[in-house]
Amino acid sequence: MKCRICSGNVREFFDLGPQPVSDAFLLPPARADEFFYRLRVGVCESCMMVQQAEEIPRQKMFHADYPYRSSGSALIRQHFAAVARRFLETELSGPDAFIVEIGSNDGVMLKTISQAGIRHLGVDPSGGAAEVSAECGVRVQVDFFDETTAGTILARDGQADVIYSANTVSHISYLDSVFRGVDKLLADNGVFVIEDRYLGDILEQTAFDQIYDEHFYLFSVRSVRALAQLHGLELSGVEHLPVHGGTIRYTISRPGRRAISPEIARLCALEPVDFAVFEGFARRAADIRDALTTLLTGLREQGRRVVGYGATAKSATILNYCGIGPDLIPCICDSTPGKQGRLTPGSHIPVLAAESFAAPYPDYALLFAWNHAEEIMAKEQEFKRRGGRWIMYVPEVHIV
């Protein structure tokens, strides 16, 4: 297997078996022709980028019915409002400033920029989410960002002071085209700021559910530094954030334009280079699978009712890798309108409205949205008060 970034040799370390499109929630009844592919990941021996073996067509994942909405979490809304305010105070404080966001989804970040009257453009192929953002006053182009899109934006709007992208760049297999586009579009002193799940945290927490179709790459400081360098740009800053269970904000700029943060070298030195670390991760994931299925089977035998909480994209990996279906988890409660009334991909568990969680409360709730544990547990205190227990599987299977 060849690296999609640097053409180096990629060593596979984890085979998660047949997996569906993680956000393809099905209208019942389930159909026999559902799309599956074999999810395998490896690490490049040269640039250290963790990546999938097989690419699936981008239109299968991102389209008018893509259901995820960033604004579904209050903490995520706060996070992106703070990101926007910081840009407004710094990079966007000059005259006629312009920001482009790749993967703007429902406008959770650009809303604040738009309210400040600053020139902006969101680019996102998910038409339904884009519609929501347009209703919030966000200017959006329903498109996949790549070199061609960048050319169109440049000709129409000019260069950008900031190109921002959260939880999206890792979703794009064709990063060569994206970086050529960024190189065209970015002003000389501009910044390309990427926020994405951090490989270091994923390995440490054995959060193997962060591996699914959309997460084509798992970024580390080493691999993003190599990626920027390959495209004539420079990684100048990194910030480690708690969002989504562990995120890094990478600041990429033109060589020599910004001071290089010492945090880059510090984090790189902590990152794994030994293949055994990746093999150990895959072994621990298999242990989690065994412990979780044993626990759920035991609870079923005792006549306990266990429901799921949060029909995340991540849950597709857990459910399909562990072979968990409606016999063990009869339903998953979720606040996203576009997921409710549908079946989870591959595992065919009905998704119900968040309100049905209390009607009546189950004995146990399996928390698939573990990255939002604090927010959800604060909201669902009554469940605990009535004797309900949360089942967690990160960093290992445990009950709280």
Q: Return residues touching ligand DWN (CB under 6 A).
A: 68, 72-73, 167, 214, 310-314, 334-336, 339, 354, 369, 371-372, 375-376, 379
Stretch that binds ligand SAH, among 102-110, 301-309, 349-357, 392-400 (CB under 6 A): 102-110
Beta bridge partners of 140: 122
C-beta closer to Zn ion: residue 44 or 102: 44
CA 116/CA 312 separation, integer angstroms = 32
Q: How far is the CB of 214 from ligand DWN (least distance, A)?
A: 4
| Residue 360, SS3 per DSSP | coil
Which listed residue (13, 14, 25, 68) binds ligand SAH by CB under 6 A?
68
C-beta closer to ligand SAH: residue 102 or 207: 102
Q: 281, 372, 290: which is closest to 73 by C-alpha? A: 372
CA 196/CA 130 separation, integer angstroms = 21
C-beta closer to ligand DWN: residue 73 or 253: 73
Does position 186 interact with Zn ion (CB under 5 A)? The reply is no
Which listed residue (49, 100, 140, 172) binds ligand SAH by CB under 6 A?
172
* Residue window 36-75: x/- pattern of binding to Zn ion, with contact defined by CB under 5 A: --------x-xx----------------------------
C-beta closer to ligand DWN: residue 55 or 279: 55
237 within 8 A of 12, measured Cβ to Cβ = no
Does position 199 interact with Zn ion (CB under 5 A)? The reply is no
**Strands of 35-139, DSSP E:** 37-44, 50-52, 98-102, 119-123
**Amino acid, single-letter form, for residue 196:** D
136 within 8 A of 114, measured Cβ to Cβ = yes
DSSP state letter for 204: H
* Residue window 4-23: x/- pattern of binding to Zn ion, with contact defined by CB under 5 A: -xx-x---------------
CA 232/CA 236 separation, integer angstroms = 13
List the end-to-end C-alpha distance of the chain, in Å, as a whole number.
Answer: 41
Q: How far is the CB of 205 from Zn ion (least distance, A)?
A: 24
C-beta closer to Zn ion: residue 21 or 44: 44
Does position 103 interact with ligand SAH (CB under 6 A)? The reply is yes
Does position 129 interact with ligand SAH (CB under 6 A)? The reply is yes
Q: How far is the CB of 340 from ligand SAH (least distance, A)?
A: 19
Q: How far is the CB of 130 from ligand SAH (least distance, A)?
A: 8
CA atoms within a 13 Å half-sphere pointing along the CA-CB vector of 135: 8
C-beta closer to ligand DWN: residue 54 or 374: 374
Pick one of Zn ion, ligand SAH, ligand DWN, none as the site partner of residue 73 (Cβ within 5 to 8 A by kind).
Answer: ligand DWN
CA atoms within a 13 Å half-sphere pointing along the CA-CB vector of 49: 26
Q: 325, 333, 336, 364: which is closest to 351 by C-alpha? A: 333
| Residue 251, SS3 per DSSP | strand
Strand order across the 98-102 sheet: 140-141, 119-123, 98-102, 160-166, 186-197, 247-253, 234-241
Q: Which residues bind ligand SAH (CB under 6 A)?
A: 62, 66, 68, 70, 102-103, 105, 123-126, 129, 144-145, 166-168, 171-172
Question: By the criterion CB under 5 A, which residues form the site for Zn ion?
Answer: 3, 5-6, 8, 44, 46-47
